Amino acid sequence: MKRRTISFQLNDDKHISNFKKRLYSTILGGIIGDALGVPVEFKARNLNITGMTGYGTYNQPPGTWSDDTSLTLCLMENLIEEKDETELMKKFAAYREGYWTPYGIMFDIGRATDDAIERFKRGVPIEQCGGASEFDNGNGALMRISPLAFTLWNEPDFSKRQAEIERWAFITHRHPRSTLGCIIYIEFLINLFDHSPKEAYKQAVHSCLENLRGTKYENEFSAYKRILNDDIATVKREDIMSDGYVVHSLEAALWCFLNSARYSDAVLEAVNLGEDTDTIAFITGTMAGMYDQMESIPEEWIAALARKEDILDLSERFTQFCFETSER
């Protein structure tokens, strides 16, 4: 099945305005979810978070975001600069020294990402740095891959979208289960441009099943059966896991988004599930931000974000990059 392609022109004010709003709300939506979740990461379920808080798990002030945001911003910057995978890994290594952190100090990083950076620093070829075992299926690639929804929106060829997702995911996570989660996620975000949440979910599932049968990813369909059976929204809350396993993280984010009426409801539900609160709220926030757009995100949450102006500046540059590359 081929998606409808929308061609953007820099002199098309309506398309520019819509695209920019979607990009800003998706990026900020994810970052706000991250910041909401940071103070209660690893806490048990049934929390009662109703707004932006601080301190808690990492003793950080309100509006502080984690590695989910930092590595996403690194990817955006690397795409703008048109640098390769090696240069992105250099940015990830620099993150450990404080690069693209809220206050110049790293306080959180996933095991698989950290291991990949260590391999890179030891001189392992970039194509072999990402963990490839079944035990390397954390959500570290899933959490940072959302900017590709904007660079790939106009790409009608599924195989090319797949290859680009693999290119950027593999540097830290090479197991096909992890990458399949990234592919489903990006397909869903892209379909949210044009469809309701339920229809976007249906279209994303159909696209993945149709195009990935007969590939290495078919062996991973069973891991994602609750998503690929098109029924994740009907699962009971107590049966939704909210840990750092890539499958559980994507399930939880989809469940929160598809069962919520607005952005704030979705991200707060994600946080109040407990455990990997920052990442699941980040992923949920990108979905809800893409669909609900800026008007739905509480202004006081945006105002509380650390380095807000830097984030907005990078988002503006990324928007311009997406328009320029779409015209090549």
Query: How far, in Å, CA of 298 to CA of 30, rounded?
Result: 13
Task: Summarize pLDDT for 87-118 with one digit per residue, the tens.
Answer: 999 999 999 999 999 999 999 999 999 999 99
Task: Summarize pLDDT for 149-203 with one digit per residue, the tens.
Answer: 999 998 999 999 999 999 999 999 999 999 999 999 999 999 999 999 999 999 9
Q: Extract the tokens encoding 270.
A: 């994600």
Query: How far, in Å, CA of 130 to CA of 173, rounded?
Result: 5
Q: How confident is the model at residue 2 (pLDDT cuts 50, 70, 90)?
A: very low
pLDDT of residue 9: 45
Query: How far, in Å, CA of 105 to CA of 133, rounded?
Result: 30
Output 182 or 17, whichever has higher pLDDT. 182
pLDDT higher than 60, residue 3:
no
Instruction: Provide the greatest CA pair distance for the chain.
Output: 50
Q: How confident is the model at residue 12 (pLDDT cuts 50, 70, 90)?
A: low
pLDDT higher than 80, residue 295:
yes
Average pLDDT (316-327) is: 90
pLDDT of residue 199: 97
Q: Which of 160, 190, 167 is nearest to 79 (CA)?
A: 167
pLDDT higher than 60, residue 40:
yes
- Model-level pTM? 0.95
Q: Extract the tokens encoding 307.
A: 């380095």
Residue-range domains of the chain with CATH: 33-326 (1.10.4080.10)
Query: How far, in Å, CA of 312 to CA of 299, rounded?
Result: 14
Q: How confident is the model at residue 6 (pLDDT cuts 50, 70, 90)?
A: very low
